[in-house]
Amino acid sequence: MPSGLAVVEVNRARSGDEERQMAESNEESLREHVARIMKEKGLRVRDIRRRSAGTITESYISEILKGVAANPSIEKLSALARGLGVDPVELFKVASGGAAGDEESRKVIDRSYAVRVLDMMRTIALSPDLIAIAEEVGQLSGRDAAVAHTSIVALRSSESRDRN
């Protein structure tokens, strides 16, 4: 049976390997990302709530930190970003599985595109019909989604021709 010191050394080696793998992949979960920013900035949960002007609750922030709130809304991510003092696009990217610190991919993000996407998501969220369509499209294969996209574009084109 290994001594206590040997077990500690093995655990240190493992955690060092895990840290190197994390640094190499440069991807964090939302929970890890928020916890890291809080530590770097010396923020507590209540500080984030205050800095967000109360638009996100302490309990919801805690759920994010525990990994319980796995799919926060755009509004919650925006409030969290405000509370953390970070770019909302950074949090959206992390929440969708991307790497926040990847400078090359951050250059690719066109803020006007991000705003258009957020506006479109809000429009969809407010329409039961659009939600149903989005749910159906989300279940399609790549090829079928491309066919659906072509059909929707054709429908919109014919509708605009009919108006003129």
Contact 43, 84 (CB under 8 A): yes
Residue spans per domain, the chain? 4-126, 128-164
Specify the range with the lowest mean pLDDT, choosing from 19-23, 71-75, 90-94, 111-115: 19-23
Q: Which own/partner contact pairs does 58-66 have at CB distance under 8 Å and 24+ positions apart? A: 61/34, 64/30, 64/31, 64/34, 65/31, 65/34, 65/35, 66/31
Q: pLDDT tens, 139-151?
A: 888 888 888 888 8
- With cut-offs at 50, 70 and 90, classify the pLDDT of residue 38: very high
Q: Which is the CATH superfamily of the domain at 4-126?
A: lambda repressor-like DNA-binding domains (1.10.260.40)
pTM here is 0.49
Note the pLDDT of residue 21: 42
Q: 48 CB contacts (<8 Å, ≥6 apart)? A: 38, 56, 61, 80, 83, 84
Q: pLDDT tens, 126-142?
A: 999 999 988 888 888 88
Contact 152, 140 (CB under 8 A): no
